[in-house]
Structure 1
């Protein structure tokens, strides 16, 4: 309990809209919807929620309707389903170095090989990617990335980088899995169109697109309710529905109905509330790093999201550092090598600021800096 933790990549529970969610549960169970809330649901998901999400995607530049929306039990389930849909053992998935650990865990069950996607440029040629995949006995099936305030780095792709991802995917004729879990949490600057929006513009509409957008309510309203969604071409949604029917049949009816009520009434206000709180915590962490960290250490300066990514001097092992930090400085973080498909990046670490109050920042960062100075 005396350990100051920058490790957990979770939202602050004190900011959950608990009253609004409680009121919505009471309204659903106390009215005419009670029977439907406790009954089986169609595998695609609760229709009013899918319609709300289609309108929400429209505001992001993606023209679609409820037939393009599929409700999942959190976006983590979407990653599992998409891995199952595309990957056979030996196939190749293109991911960033580093990337979201949960995606690697979801895809690993289907025994892929990973190749590196360089969003800053300098990728291999499509022919080289194909040859490397074929040498492993499979094909390149998709690229996966978090384009907005990525977990773990906090980095965001600009529009040229997003277009370049689409160019490469087109040349390889593969899907793009766009993980948008942190998109709404922008603290600085103007938003960049989703990759799916750019794809729709160049392909002639969502049903001709190759991008599959994975969204989530977990970072904004509640992770415990486990409600996420996929926005995708109809032919992909149809396959995902078959998987859902064979898996858990549908996400909980009552949670979907409550999420719909809450989203349509307070979503934008809740986003504004989180931005106000998390921006201050990000600024405090960046300021403390600037004031305390020794030379030779660099870090990301995210425009949103939940994470700051530190790069330590070559030869430093963040896993070994964590053991010392917890014992000597009573400070925790996440070593970076877990986010690399090949286990490299041992001189990197992730710090989350969403739960970092003033004490955590003002005491924890100087303690960690002192340990790094030796």
Structure 2
């Protein structure tokens, strides 16, 4: 038999299966209440609007272009629509500053490829988005803990990176309602991060996947918007904004985008040409049709539903969780992050929960680049109604209470 492992590239050893993707399979089990998938509720998809959009495309003169090869940068009308949307959140730019990608996950892969040589350092939060770690891992980086506005100095980061055999290349974070914690980076922390990146001469990768899903509280300008306000123009900035239509319109079409200075976009276009030539033209056109005709109304709809589910989950946690368990209180997004008593492991708890409580969640350890965080877990409220949330959190709380009592005994 051929020894495949001996001829795989060394980077393949850092590729790991996604615990979340595996847990999504549980969504089809009727006996499981799942808080595992950080996915939008399909009942809220604008399916009628997409049906009309595809019908218009196939019945109109643009059908040939929709089914043909296209430019790597992306469908121009969609990029022009995004220019207007970016302006609304304080990011003035041109269509040339935008690249359409096959979901924001492809953007993260490209950015890892663009910046990371083996042993370079990526600064990421502890915890951070698991998909970002998976994307970056292939390029064999080291990781260091990003603490926006914290006590670590640029010199300390650079010294640690040098000891690891490379240099710091970027700081990655989700600034609004992050996956997995649901927490938001303050304006002061965002400003401090720009200061640090300027001093270290590194990029900032701002993951804006949940930026539209604010339920309450005052909106904070994106990091890219703050940097443009300082420096006068997007082409003078070092922040790279990654966005997606997956959480607002539909994830199955795989349409994301990057907004950045022209030198970055030019390099990403070359990667796009080498990887898949361009994202699906017809899907970009359909996204554009639906976005132009009702993006704000769609966002208002999902905000209304998700905010009610967020409130139901926070209420259920307050009602049922035993002492010793704490959780975040997000102002938007899809997630709540729980911290269990020290010594209790989320992975072991999940194994018991699937058998006894019949509740699924994501153990938190997978979100930590250093393998810590064993006593944490992520629950998502996006696909569970209020009845499921009340019942599921009650069952989970009872299981946790029993584990706490067993340790005391």
TM over 0.5: yes
Structure 1: gaps of 5 or more residues: none
Paired residue for 1:279? 307
Q: Deviations over 1:271-311 (max 9, x none)?
A: 00001100000000000000000001100000000000000
Q: Offset at 1:120?
A: 5.1
Paired residue for 1:172? 200
* Stretch of structure 1 that moved more, 129-138 or 207-216: 129-138
Aligned to 1:215, what secondary structure does the other structure show?
strand
Alignment of 1:54-203 (within 5 A): 54-119=83-148, 121-122=150-151, 124-203=152-231
Paired residue for 1:27? 56
Alignment equivalent of 2:328, drawn from 286, 290, 300: 300
Counterpart-to-counterpart distance in 1, 2:392 and 2:192: 39
Q: Offset at 1:158?
A: 1.4
Structure 1 residue 265 corresponds to structure 2 residue 293: yes
Aligned to 2:253, what secondary structure does the other structure show?
coil
Structure 1 residue 359 corresponds to structure 2 residue 384: no
Q: Offset at 1:359?
A: 2.7
* Stretch of structure 1 that moved more, 97-106 or 360-369: 360-369
Aligned to 1:362, what secondary structure does the other structure show?
helix
* Stretch of structure 1 that moved more, 353-362 or 159-168: 353-362
Q: Deviations over 1:57-80 (max 9, x none)?
A: 011101101010100000000000
Aligned to 2:252, what secondary structure does the other structure show?
coil
Paired residue for 1:335? 363
Structure 1 residue 18 corresponds to structure 2 residue 18: no
Q: Offset at 1:340?
A: 0.2
Q: Offset at 1:356?
A: 1.2
Paired residue for 1:232? 260
Q: Offset at 1:15?
A: 0.2
Counterpart-to-counterpart distance in 1, 2:227 and 2:149: 19
Assess if the C-alpha contact under 8 Å between 2:149 and 2:192 holds in 1: no
Assess if the C-alpha contact under 8 Å between 1:99 and 1:339 holds in 2: yes
Counterpart-to-counterpart distance in 1, 2:166 and 2:353: 42
Q: Offset at 1:128?
A: 1.2
Counterpart-to-counterpart distance in 1, 2:287 and 2:359: 36
Aligned to 2:392, what secondary structure does the other structure show?
helix
Aligned to 1:82, what secondary structure does the other structure show?
helix
Q: Offset at 1:363?
A: 1.2
Counterpart-to-counterpart distance in 1, 2:160 and 2:149: 21
Alignment equivalent of 1:53, drawn from 69, 82, 86: 82
Runs of 4+ in 1 over 3 A off after TM superposition: none
Question: Could you state the TM-score of these two structures normalised by the residue count of structure 2?
Answer: 0.90
Counterpart-to-counterpart distance in 1, 2:388 and 2:148: 33
Assess if the C-alpha contact under 8 Å between 1:55 and 1:65 holds in 2: no
Q: Offset at 1:117?
A: 0.6
**RMSD value, Cα:** 0.7
Counterpart-to-counterpart distance in 1, 2:31 and 2:156: 51
Q: Deviations over 1:251-272 (max 9, x none)?
A: 0110011111111111000000
Paired residue for 1:349? 377
Counterpart-to-counterpart distance in 1, 2:331 and 2:176: 9
* Stretch of structure 1 that moved more, 162-171 or 100-109: 162-171
Counterpart-to-counterpart distance in 2, 1:363 and 1:137: 50
